[in-house]
Amino acid sequence: MSSQIGMVAMSSDSAFIHNDAQPAEAVGGSSEPDLGALLLARMRAGGYVEGSIADATVREAAIAAAAADRRLGELAVGNGRTILVRGWLDGAAPNPDLHPSGPPRTLSPVANLVWSACLGAAWPDPVARPYPGRAFSRSAIIATCVALEADRNTVVTALTSTLPAAGLITLNGDRGVLGPAAAALPATVWSQLGRIHERLPRAMEANRSSNAAPHGERESSTVRWVDAEAPGPRTELDETVRKIICALETAEGPIRRADLPMLADPAIRTAVEVTLSRCGRTLISVGSHSWVTGYPSAVAAALARDGFGALQPTERAVLALLLLHTVAIPRARGIHLDDTWSSKHPVQMATLIANRTIKRTVAEAAIRGLRRAGFVANSKTGGYLPGPAMLRLTPTQRNLLWEDLIVLGRPNGYMARRIRQRRTSEPDQKGQPPA
């Protein structure tokens, strides 16, 4: 489905990227991060990037991504709009069974069923190009899945929240098509989907769906992959670095060191760190037992400053309540003495909305957004806990979050004022935007 092209033709008058590329070594330091790295970080935070981007920046990002088995591609999404998406190099794709301690993020059973139904409705002909596919009806997909004995509420959540957030489908009212993440799926995945095509569920309301389909039908398109510089012959070190980065970047949470013994080698670890830094990422040690990747502080600060992947105010408010109840209060009581933003003390929705200024509907919507962003996870025993993204924070970001809660706990105390003063006078020291 992919077609190699030359350079993506994008204008260079971007508001976001306005300078020439900087050395990759600058990433992670206190200076402004590398533009290619920042572009890749934006794609990590939002799934894709829309808007005009300088050719040099795209080229730089594509070269950096290729070192981690990724590639960039241009995708037409209708109405003359073009977005930049990430895909996998030919032959590369994450392996769901490789690291038991840190499996990749996959769909839940019902979300898989809904995805199958969407695929069956949008992609009736396995020979045709799948993206964006035939428009399908939201109600038809729900009816199809409910007829297969799936829980209706779970189906609705998957259809309206999980799959659109993952970029696998795009919903516009009652109409939906396949999303940009579907277009960027590896070719091997599409060939596997083609083999199981006849088993995909078909819409129950076929008539309505077929009547609705011609209206607003988009022309099919494929990702035009950016041709990065031809890499030299891969060494064993390159392969090892690519496997490690693939595992770390697609893992839902930290991976045990025992599952990545190669990182104990200083040379390999340095190579991984350099490759990650060029992709706007950094290697983070969780305690003394696990590895995970995250945004370098400077990259995170730049993304937050420009609003890419930043949390909404209500999401931040609910996250603050969740962290107070699950981390700050237990630790202040000496119950929980771990040094990470993890917790074993889930909080219930009723406790969160004990703060009467936060309404239940607002809190529930915020929790959904936080879960999508990785900052909240559901506890197996009920309630909510800090999510895996909390473990992806660098020490600097962890410290900033700790300070935020100290300021929240005693806004008029000396410590709060000292923190505010330091952030105002030394904005770059911790990557925090100036007040």
Partner 1 sequence: MSDPFGAADQQPETDLHLAQSDLFDSYREQLSVSERRATWKAFAAPLTSQGGAVVENPDLVEMAVAVIGVFSEHHSEHGMTFAQIREGLRAHGADLSTSAIETRLGHLHTEGFLEPYLPKLHQGRYVIRPAGLVGALAAQRVAEHGGIDEMVLLLDRTQAALQMSKPDPRRVLNHLHTCRFTLTVFARDLQRCVATGTSAELITLGRQHDHSGYTQKVVDLNSLVSLRFAGVYELEDAGAALIEAEQFYRAQVRAAIGKVLAHGGASLNFDVLTPREYEDAAIESSPDLLAQVGTHLVADAPEVVIDITAMLKVLDDYRPRPKHRFRPPEPPRGAQDPDPIAAIERAAAETWRRRRLGLEALLAGRAEADLTSAMQTSWPAAIRVLTDAMALDADRSEPFVLDIDETLLIDVEAPVTYLHPARLIRTNIALTETGPMIEHVQPDRDGGDV
Would you count residue 148 as binding partner 1 (CB under 8 A)? yes
Single out the segment in contact with partner 1 by CB under 8 A; choices: 57-65, 228-236, 258-266, 314-322: 314-322
Would you count residue 153 as binding partner 1 (CB under 8 A)? no
Single out the segment in contact with partner 1 by CB under 8 A; choices: 25-33, 55-63, 123-131, 144-152: 144-152
Size of the chain in residues: 435
Cβ at position 13, least distance to partner 1 in Å: 25
The SS3 assignment for 104 reads strand
Which residues from 361-390 bind partner 1, rule CB under 8 A? 372-375, 388-389
Q: Which is nearer to partner 1, 56 or 309 (CB)?
A: 309
The rounded distance, in Å, linking the Cα atoms of 357 and 316 is: 14
Give which of 427, 83, 57 is closest to 278, Cα–Cα. Answer: 57
Which residues from 291-310 bind partner 1, rule CB under 8 A? 294-295, 300-301, 303-304, 308-310
Would you count residue 319 as binding partner 1 (CB under 8 A)? yes
Which residues from 102-141 bind partner 1, rule CB under 8 A? 104-107, 109-110, 112-113, 115-116
**Is the dihedral angle over the CA atoms 144, 148, 153, 155 positive or is it negative?**
negative
Which residues from 52-111 bind partner 1, rule CB under 8 A? 86, 93-94, 96, 104-107, 109-110
Which residues from 396-435 bind partner 1, rule CB under 8 A? 397-421, 431-433
Identify any residues that bridge with 299 across adjacent strands, giving them in sequence order: none
Q: Which is nearer to partner 1, 37 or 304 (CB)?
A: 304
Give which of 309, 296, 318 is closest to 386, Cα–Cα. Answer: 318
Query: Mask of contacts with partner 1, 209-238, x by CB under 8 A?
Result: ------------------------------
Question: How many amino acids of this chain bind partner 1 (CB under 8 A)?
Answer: 111
Rg (CA), the chain: 23
Distances (CA, A) of 201 to 127, 145, 207, 218, 339: 17, 8, 15, 23, 47
Would you count residue 49 as binding partner 1 (CB under 8 A)? no
Identify any residues that bridge with 255 across adjacent strands, giving them in sequence order: 291
Q: Which is nearer to partner 1, 232 or 313 (CB)?
A: 313
Which residues from 27-46 bind partner 1, rule CB under 8 A? 44-46
Residue 200 in contact with residue 117, Cβ under 8 Å?
yes
The rounded distance, in Å, linking the Cα atoms of 186 and 131 is: 13
What is the crossing angle of helices 395-409 and 313-323, to 10°? 80
Would you count residue 206 as binding partner 1 (CB under 8 A)? no
The SS3 assignment for 172 reads strand
* Lookup: tokens for 39: 């572009």
Cβ at position 133, least distance to partner 1 in Å: 15
Q: Which is nearer to partner 1, 149 or 229 (CB)?
A: 149
